[in-house]
Structure 1
Amino acid sequence: MDWLPHIVVKADDDASVKTATTALRTFDTGFPGHKATVHCIGARAHTVCKDWCTAGGHTLLEYQPSVRQSQLHYAIVKGSRLPVVLIRGTAVFYDDISDYSTTKLFGAEVFPKRYTQPGNDKLITLAGIEKTVVFVAQPMKLSAKVEEVTKHYQKDVAKEAKGSKKWDCQAVIIDGKMYYQESGIFNLVYQWDKSLFTNFSKKTSAKFESVFGGNNYTEMVRRLEEYGYDTDILLKYINAALNDNWKGVKGCRKAYLDMIKGLVIK
């Protein structure tokens, strides 16, 4: 399957520019011989993205800081006829992943259902798609499914707002508990019909890593400290990414999942 790569880059502070652009520096390993479209949100990582695109013959698109990743994912899928792969700027590639194939609408990894905050059983985050790498094999069918699911409760309100907020997060309160679905059309479709999705195999997952919190690792550290976590666990992976030590980044996803395993709801 011939994939068209789209990389979404956003650095929320100057310190996070390197960790927010690891996908650029490892792209040739994951997608040798491919040209990417880079979607740069905000100005902080603009120079890095521009230089990389110029040197490699890739395409650069620029957006205001208010634009969100899930919003771009919706627009990219809706405007595509051919298979696309959506890549977060914080991805790190270790092997050629461009030979991935699926007969379903899309393939990705899943994060488990869990309590949103330690010590609070009233807030629950539903299981959902981990958006570091998402292969969309049938974008037209996926777009049609989104329209089918949302037509009864999220109608287009104006021509210029067509499709607005169909990609956004959702929350519902049931019996004294709030259930939160993270943003993205992939989470919407995953919750609607899991048979339309393929979970990555261990072989596929081993070909890439994610620098968790890479878009804004200072805020991630602050939030983890607030909840009483040992931030040194993830900081070692952040430091490895800052130094292009890709071997040192390996295992970051597992470390994060191990950290929150006490919150996971079976």
Structure 2
Amino acid sequence: MCRWAAYLGEPVFLEDIVTAPCHSLIAQSHCALEAKTATNGDGFGVAWYGDRAEPGLYRDVLPAWSDCNLKSLCRQIRSGLFLAHVRASTGGATSRDNCHPFVWGRWSFMHNGQIGGFEAIRRRLEESLSDELYAGLHGATDSELFFFLMLAEGLDRDPHAAASRAVSRVIAASQRAGIEPALKLTAAFADGERLFAVRYSTLGTAPTLYAGAFRNGPGRCLVSEPFDREGQDWQAVPPGSLVTMTHETMSVRAFEPAAAPMAMAG
């Protein structure tokens, strides 16, 4: 499984989360404490928002701990909203296109988890996308495809409903293929103004998710595991939850699949 961290608030340097803390995301790339595997060395990526509507994106296949460019960029870039991810592959080659975060327009997305039996249902899920969205797929991961299912289900209009319907799509495709649904989903996604996260699993246990204030002031973080356990008040987000953050508020509400898949939008 992977590790990730997301931030929303007053602009801070990316290094304040990605590289500088004692258990930063880079530290977690080689010594994760709450992951299935301690090493997350199959690439990394950061997506950050600045003066433009669409996010900047930097990804590579090197382990995060060995990329000097990542450390330099994080020391120089300030942002009020960013997503950062270190990858432990559960499927798909180690390539730049398979590294998180994924970006479409103003949206960015990253994921920790997997769609069990993905190859058996991948074609069915891809065929449900519009031609425009299908052409936007660059990698071969279940994570990127799930993001595009959310886009197809109306992410711009209603992020909660779009995520719920995308989960329902995956479950229905698994059932039609005659396999037990096995989805583990702890994902973060942002539109330049708001930050969302969902924690859900069909298997009873979902990858970890924590929320916490950033140094008691400028913003809030959502993380796979805390990057600093001293002086930080981290709250575990329960399974079956969707988190919505704005600059003023944070809410946590129940999350479950839509009752039945709906026809996909283009």
Q: TM-score, normalised by structure 1?
A: 0.38
Q: Which is strand-richer, 1 or 2?
A: 2
Q: TM-score, normalised by structure 2?
A: 0.38
Q: Which is helix-richer, 1 or 2?
A: 1
